[in-house]
Amino acid sequence: MRRRYLLGAGLAVMVAGMAHSAFAQSGEIKIGEINSYSLLPAFTEPYRKGWQLALEEVNAAGGINGKKLVVVSKDDSGKPADATTAANELVSSEKVVMLTGTFLSNIGLAVSDFANQKKVFFLAAEPLTDAITWSKGNRYTFRLRPSNYMQAAMLAEAAAKLPAKRWATVAPNYEYGQSAVAVFKKLMSEKRPDIQWVDEQWPPFGKLDAGPVVQAIAAANPEAILNVTFGADLVKFVREGNTRGLFKNRSVVSFLTGEPEYLDPLKEETPEGWIVTGYPWYDIKTPEHDKFIKAYQAKFNDYPRLGSIVGYQTIKAAAAILAKANSDDPEKLIAAAEGLSMPSPFGEITFRKIDHQSTLGAYVGKTAVKDGKGIMVNSVYRKGSDYLPSDAEVSKMRPKD
Amino acid sequence: MAFYFVQFLTGLASAASLFLVASGLSIIFGVTRIVNFAHGAFYMLGAYVAFTLTERFSGALGFWAGIVLASLVVAVVGVLVEMVLLRRIYHAPELFQLLATFGLTLMVQDLVVMIWGPNDLLGRRAPGFKGAVEFFGQNIPTYDLFLIALSPIVLGLLWLLFQRTRWGVLVRAATQDRDMVAALGVNQKWLFTSVFALGVFLAALGGALQIPRDAVHHALDLRIIVDVFVVVVIGGLGSIIGAFVAAVLVSELNAFGILIFPKISIILVFLVMAVVLIVRPWGLFGKQEAAARRTPGLTVNPWRPLTSGERLAAWAGLAVAAMLPLVGGNYALTVGSEIAIFVIFAASLHFLMSVGGLASFGHAAYFGLGAYGIAFLAKMAGLPMIVCLLLGPLLGCLGAAIFGFFAVQLSGVYFAMLTLAFAQIVWSVAFQWVAVTGGDNGILGLWPEKWAAGPASFYWLSIGVAALAVAALRIIVFSPFGYALRATRDSLLRSEAIGIDAKRIQWTAFVIAGSVAGIAGALFAYLKGSVFPDSLGISLSVDALVMVLLGGVETVSGAVIGAIVYKMLSIWLVSQTDLSKLVLGGVIVLIVVAFPKGIVGMFETLRNRRRPELPKPALLKSRIEGAE
């Protein structure tokens, strides 16, 4: 269960104390967790279940070197400013030894900058922006999920094999969409100099006016389309595209669409044959994943989403780092985390020393419809380590500590 | 050619859904003068209820019956809301109803997730309208054709209703002059309730009709509410035909705009609104509002400077606040700083609203400009913190000077919506101009220098600035300039007749309020260590409005209390529960019912009632007579 420390008398309870005392004095270790629970429940509910399962497993196996692991979880209501307030509460009042979580890129960056300023270890779970490990990276911040660049590289590899030469793009008009399109274009143009980019559409996030957008793309008559929209925008785009025949005889490459969070709502309208990144939980037959999915289904009587994997692995990674460091000193935590390898439901992952990015990968496959539901078929796991730029390029992008 | 025709039809289909919702809002506003923030919530409820009903009933009949039934069910909910909640507060100060509907909206957002779950829901396609027809090689969805046909039908029905029935005559009369309608003995209660029911029905119908082509989810309301307001204002408040024309205009401009500028959608409606309002101050089909008949001087507790006892109490309060570092930890101090910053922000809007009578819906623009001012000075020019704090708010001041010039040419809700348009334009510049502002990834690393870095020092800095700002604004209120400003608020005609240059006075007030908001934004940037486009966004503007209304718009400094209560409550709730919106919304609704003049306004009323014999200075007496 989620632990809440009721602040009975409000502010009066929050008395000043010694920093970083939790580890030394009590029999438990607290870590702080922040996410957009109220704004994005579709993603964060499975995520929460994932970390709750991991927490239970860690403590059942004896905790962190004999001490009980406790997660204090906070909502950021989807705003960077609120996330900083929550981070401050976790660090100053709850005395957590590290921060984890966050979903949106700008919130991840705000917390990462806070961590850098206050010298707190931060393990970013979901944010996809490349900036968090590269252009705005800092020594206190690590990131679990495969970044925008890595997913773009995985998709570009598959997309370059398509015969299509005329490409159109549609992406939500904010940093995630912009950088996904930019990286994909760059990697594709390197592999296939013959490609033409014939149209781009930038609907505002959450406010896609599907009819005109679909019509505009069709008018450019591309042979293939890159889609970066997700959530409700994706539903609208797909429905309108199906009705107007936009996807007929066209290849579509799509970010994140294979994740159950985004694929399941499409139900029988799921378009077939899109090349997507995602999480085909029904199709993964490895012992690590079997173990995870059995435990998850036994505890929650529900199937996992990608968020469940991210939540689960975030706390597993935090536990592994804490166990190795055996200290609450952020410098020792960083030293422990750099280069640390650990098992995950997707196989072994490593936190790279050079940019603090984990090598967790993603599944790439094609969409299909089965029994009125969208699924991924022919999925292959792509290791994160194979889709990162060379060390020289990374060090050029990342500011020196 | 065929493509452009089809794109035109597509634009019409988008306009149809916008029009249905906008017409409801326009009717409600025209008659009741309620800025119904909950209109988007009713739209969303319509979609959710229709989803449930159309999944339950099978067949074509089941689908269409489900759509209509869902709209009726939501209309009944609307009637309940009107009778239980809004009826109690029609006599509250203007815009106070906004607070109630805002509280409702917050509650509905959490309630739909509790009832229908967090996942996006996919509704059925409409029976008989599943496919597309081909037109010279272009596909037109039949459902689009259905929507295109439906909206003129709805427009026609509404026109008949308003022109050919007695009820319609009453509604039109009330839209023009509701005091006169009341004076003629029309039962206003039921007129208002029925109008509200019709408006909510149209909103819910608009939502229900979206399920064959959209996903049903818990953010539907926010997605539509602002756009709908904009459409209503472009068309002219209370004008159904105006709403129709504006919906078509906005949708067509979007449909064709994205062919040339694919990134235009994010700002288009606000650009159109800004242009329309500058050229036509009452929208395309609107008329100038009849001058308010009420004399504000009678409803307001007469204002006076603090007595020496109260001044002492204020000093004592400040002294107590200054002692927080003795008992509170780092977190308490940071929260304290944040509250102090919002006191400044709310006080600046309060100055504009209560003293100037100018309610801004886009006050966050100047807060955010102050914050970005700091970011530019500190990150690009590398100036020291104290210089940044002095110069940063100037960006807010500059923004207020430019936008204020245009905004003060308008009044009432048109003024409010033009400020909103300007704020959204500034927001989208910050959001899109990645090279300079960093886009939505913001500008990081703006931490205070050593002398202010400790939570205690920053806290003292914040409450010090807050105290100075509030005191300065109070001094202005009771200065000759303040009296002139109040004169323009109470009667524009009379004030101009005695030689007050109303527009110049209001413009100056706008600049003062914008600059003070800029100071708050500057401190906020240092408190958070980063600046994001959020700090210019609508939700922050709404927060400021809520703080002012909560404190009491008819008071001199109610916003101080409003800001403290609202900010403390919201920080505490977000920290304690994922259902913070439900609880916060509930508390706001309760406060609205319990304190229809705001918290401070209510206490002042009680105090005045309890001590009727309080000897009033002769000057004050004469001022009340003057108002009569």
Chain A residues within an 8 Å CB radius of B266: 173, 202, 204, 207
Tell me the sheet residues that pair with A143.
Answer: A124, A357
Summarised one tens digit per residue, pLDDT across range A260-302 is: 999 999 999 999 999 999 999 999 999 999 999 999 999 999 9
Mean pLDDT, chain A, whole residue set: 90
Strands A275-278 and A362-370: antiparallel
**Nearest CB to A239 within list B213, B218, B335:** B213
Range 395-414 of B in CB contact (< 8 A) with A: none
Q: Name residue, tokens 């389309």.
A: A225
**Nearest CB to B330 within list A16, A45, A218:** A16
Range 97-116 of B in CB contact (< 8 A) with A: 110, 113
Is the CB of A204 less than 8 angstroms away from the CB of B265? yes
**A207, A231 Cβ separation under 8 angstroms:** no
> What is the distance in angstroms between the Cα of A399 and the nearest Cα belonging to chain B?
13
Whether the per-residue pLDDT at B369 is higher than 70: the answer is yes
Provide the pLDDT for residue B226. Answer: 85
Summarised one tens digit per residue, pLDDT across range B321-341 is: 999 998 888 899 999 999 999
Exposed (0-12), middle (13-18) or buried (19+): which is A109, by Cβ within 10 Å?
A: buried
Provide the pLDDT for residue A21. Answer: 41
- How far, CA to CA in Å, does A207 sit from each of A203, A214, B437, B572? 7, 14, 23, 31
Provide the pLDDT for residue A167. Answer: 97
Q: Name residue, tokens 């005889």.
A: A249
Give me the mean pLDDT over the B604-622 stretch.
57
Summarised one tens digit per residue, pLDDT across range A334-387 is: 999 999 999 999 999 999 999 999 999 999 999 999 999 999 999 999 999 999
Give me the mean pLDDT over the B248-265 stretch.
90
Give me the mean pLDDT over the B557-572 stretch.
92
Is the CB of B440 less than 8 angstroms away from the CB of A105? yes
B489 or B466, higher pLDDT: B466
pLDDT band at A44 (very low <50, low <70, confident <90, very high): very high
Residue type, A204: P
**Nearest CB to A211 within list B13, B118, B445:** B13
Cβ of residue B6 closer than 8 Å to a chain A Cβ: yes
Residue type, B64: W
Summarised one tens digit per residue, pLDDT across range B126-176 is: 998 988 888 888 889 999 999 999 999 999 999 999 999 999 999 888 877
Q: CA-to-CA distance for B199 and B19, rounded, in angstroms?
A: 12
Provide the pLDDT for residue B260. Answer: 87
Q: Name residue, tokens 């960077």.
A: A80
Summarised one tens digit per residue, pLDDT across range B72-102 is: 999 999 999 999 999 888 877 767 888 899 8
Is the CB of A175 less than 8 angstroms away from the CB of B7? no
Q: What angle do CA B405, B407, B410 make, to 5 degrees?
A: 120
Whether the per-residue pLDDT at A304 is higher than 70: the answer is yes
Provide the pLDDT for residue B622. Answer: 40
Q: CA-to-CA distance for B132 and B398, rounded, in angstroms?
A: 52
Is the CB of A212 less than 8 angstroms away from the CB of B215? no
Range 528-557 of B in CB contact (< 8 A) with A: 528-530, 532, 534-535, 539
> What is the distance in angstroms between the Cα of B554 and the nearest Cα belonging to chain A?
30
pLDDT band at B627 (very low <50, low <70, confident <90, very high): very low
Whether the per-residue pLDDT at B447 is higher than 80: the answer is yes
Is the CB of A15 less than 8 angstroms away from the CB of B328? yes
Provide the pLDDT for residue B628. Answer: 31
Is the CB of B3 less than 8 angstroms away from the CB of A219? yes
Whether the per-residue pLDDT at A7 is higher than 50: the answer is no
Summarised one tens digit per residue, pLDDT across range A131-189 is: 999 999 999 999 999 999 999 999 999 999 999 999 999 999 988 899 899 999 999 99
Give me the mean pLDDT over the A210-222 stretch.
94
**B344, B516 Cβ separation under 8 angstroms:** yes
Cβ of residue B63 closer than 8 Å to a chain A Cβ: no
Chain A residues within an 8 Å CB radius of B118: 41-42, 45
Summarised one tens digit per residue, pLDDT across range B173-207 is: 887 777 888 888 888 888 999 999 999 999 999 99
Whether the per-residue pLDDT at A26 is higher than 70: the answer is no
**Nearest CB to B122 within list A4, A116, A267:** A267
Whether the per-residue pLDDT at B311 is higher than 50: the answer is yes
Is the CB of B524 less than 8 angstroms away from the CB of A82? no
The secondary element (H helix, E strand) that includes residue A347 is none
> What is the distance in angstroms between the Cα of B295 and the nearest Cα belonging to chain A?
42
Strands B138-141 and B132-135: antiparallel
Mean pLDDT, chain B, whole residue set: 89
Is the CB of B444 less than 8 angstroms away from the CB of A113? yes
Q: Kindly state the tokens that stand for B57.
A: 């009933």
**Nearest CB to A173 within list B10, B219, B263:** B263
Chosen from A33, A35, A38, A230 to mutate, greatest number of chain B CBs within 10 A: A38
Chain B: residue nearest A89 by CA? B331
B556 or A57, higher pLDDT: A57
Is the CB of A38 less than 8 angstroms away from the CB of B575? no
Q: Kindly state the tokens that stand for A388.
A: 């990162």
B488 or B553, higher pLDDT: B488
